[in-house]
Amino acid sequence: MRKGMVMAQYAALLYMPEGSDWMTPEVREEHRAFGMAASEVIAGAVALYPTGSATTITVAGGLGGDVLVTDGPYAEAKEILIGLYLLEAADLDEAISWAARIPTAWRGKVELRPLLPVGSRQF
């Protein structure tokens, strides 16, 4: 975090069309370059395997209820979550300017979601 500034946190959620390959050397290189350029604002990053290895868990009724485990992602969708960056920025405008440099922004889509501060009462 930069000194003397109140930072807001955002999850930049990366979506790609179903069936696309986000692990090619070219894409990796683009993300590496973004990571270098944005090192000041990146608080964390996660890349996900394709949805073929996803498992979905639902519990019926509440804690202790029947656990239903199914193969695959939560919902079949044309675009799937492939990873995320955690960004720290002064405000939404700064976050948008960084999100616009994430390679997925032109290969797919980037959704910016403000992080709910832990312990906060606001929803």
Selected range binding other proteins among 30-38, 40-48, 53-61, 84-92, rule: CB under 8 A: 84-92
Site residue total, other proteins (CB under 8 A): 18
C-beta closer to other proteins: residue 82 or 89 = 89
Residues 35-74 close enough to bind other proteins by CB under 8 A = none
Among 51, 100, 57, 94, which residue's Cα sits nearest to residue 76? 51
Position among 2, 5, 91, 100 found at the interface with other proteins (CB under 8 A): 91
Q: Is 95 helix (H, G, I), strand (E, B) or coil?
A: helix
Position among 57, 61, 64, 122 found at the interface with other proteins (CB under 8 A): 122
C-beta closer to other proteins: residue 72 or 117 = 117
| Rounded Cα gap, residues 48 and 84, in angstroms | 8
Residues 2-21 close enough to bind other proteins by CB under 8 A = 6, 8, 10
Beta strands in 1-123 (DSSP E): 8-17, 42-47, 55-59, 67-71, 79-89, 109-114
- What single-letter amino acid sits at 113? R
Instruction: Write down the least CB distance from residue 111 to other proteins, Å.
Output: 12
- What single-letter amino acid sits at 81? L
